[in-house]
Every structure is written in structure tokens, then in C-alpha cells.
Amino acid sequence: MLRESRGLSLTATALRAGMSKSNLSKIETAQVSSSIATLLTIAKALDVHMGRFFVESEVMPTHVLMRNGKAPLISRGGSVYGYSYEALALEMPEKLAEPFILTIRPSDKRGVFRHEGQEFNYILSGRVRITVGEESFVLEVGDSLYFDPRLPHSFEALDRKLVRLLLVFTYQQSSKQSNNIS
């Protein structure tokens, strides 16, 4: 188990993650499923990237190939508003970015989000209003927006049409990783 291999007790990890020992135990034993936000919190407590939770062997993959239409749907904060997220590189551990295809239907509620890292959006279809802080931007196919997601931000599908965008979250580089490329 990843937690044990890092020399951490259930109690210490739960404390670091700001959750109950009971809830963490249930997540570890797959008695309950958890949101991506919760997994990110646990990963931060373990000082690993969230992708480590989805790797079945100790051999680290060198790549992730995702065929068209085969990306798994996952739950993220926007899922409660109806947004759907297709994970494009979930199986790649130790990554500095997390790419998704985000789909927003015109009937989806408008959520307001804030999180760490950085965020990149590239519009694949439809028109969307993205509000970041006090500024609003209308983006169309081929447009992109890169911003600081610590600011409150939201998405709104326009023209009563489905919106699909490439959404990439970046993480801060771990102190254990190196910038050196050989």
C-alpha cells in the first residue's frame, strides 16, 4: 500500500489530509468512492501525484495512449453541476499536468471554482463564457485561456449548445523531481 510504503500510519495520513481516520480507511479499502478533490488532498498528504493511485504495478509507465472515445469519465467538483470530465492521462503517475475533456451542457448549473496550480482551456466546440475574478471572456472554437485558478472562476455554455474544451490543470513541481532533461 502506498501510504505504508511511505512509512505513514493511517492516523498521521488522515491528520495531514484533514480527514477522519475512518473515512481514509474506507477510501483505502474501497468501501467508499471519493471525489478527485479528496484524492488530490490525500495525494498531497502523501507527497505524491494523484496518478499514483491509478497505477496497478510498481513499474512506472513511460506514456499513456488514449484512443478517441475511450477516456474514462471521472468525478470532479464540477460534476455536481452536470459537467462531465474525460480523463486523458489518469494512469500517468508523477505528472505535472492533468488533461481532461470538459463537456458543459446548456442545462448545466453554473458553478464557481477555486483551486491551486494553473489552468489552461482550449475550446473544441461551442461557445463558452469563462469568468475569472471580475473579468469575463467569450471563447469560441480554437480560442484558449490560461489563468490562475486560485481566482474564482466559472463556465457558462452559450447559444444553448453543448461546449467541449480541453482543460489542463498544472501542479506545482514536487521538490523531489528535477527540471533536468537529459
Give the Cα separation of 73 and 179 in Å (integer).
31
Q: What residue spans define the domains of the chain? A: 2-48, 73-170
What's the pLDDT score for residue 2?
A: 67
Which pLDDT tens digit goes with each residue over 138-181? Answer: 999 999 999 999 999 999 999 999 999 999 999 765 433 333 33
Q: Which CATH number fits domain 73-170: 1.10.1740.10, 2.60.120.10, 1.10.1370.30, 3.40.50.280?
A: 2.60.120.10
List, in sequence order, every beta strand (DSSP E) within the chain: 73-74, 84-87, 97-104, 112-113, 118-125, 128-132, 135-139, 144-147, 153-157, 163-170
> What pTM value is reported for the model?
0.65
Which of 38-42, 53-57, 164-168, 177-181 has the highest average model confidence (pLDDT)?
164-168
Give the Cα separation of 33 and 26 in Å (integer).
8
Give the Cα separation of 169 and 70 in Å (integer).
20
Q: Which CATH number fits domain 2-48: 3.40.50.720, 3.40.630.10, 1.10.260.40, 3.40.50.10320?
A: 1.10.260.40
Residue 103 has pLDDT above 60, yes or no: yes
- Mean pLDDT score of the chain: 84
CB atoms within 10 A of CB 89: 20
What percent of the chain shows pLDDT beyond 70?
Answer: 86
Residue 78 has pLDDT above 90, yes or no: no
pLDDT band at 56 (very low <50, low <70, confident <90, very high): low
Residue with cell 490562475: 148
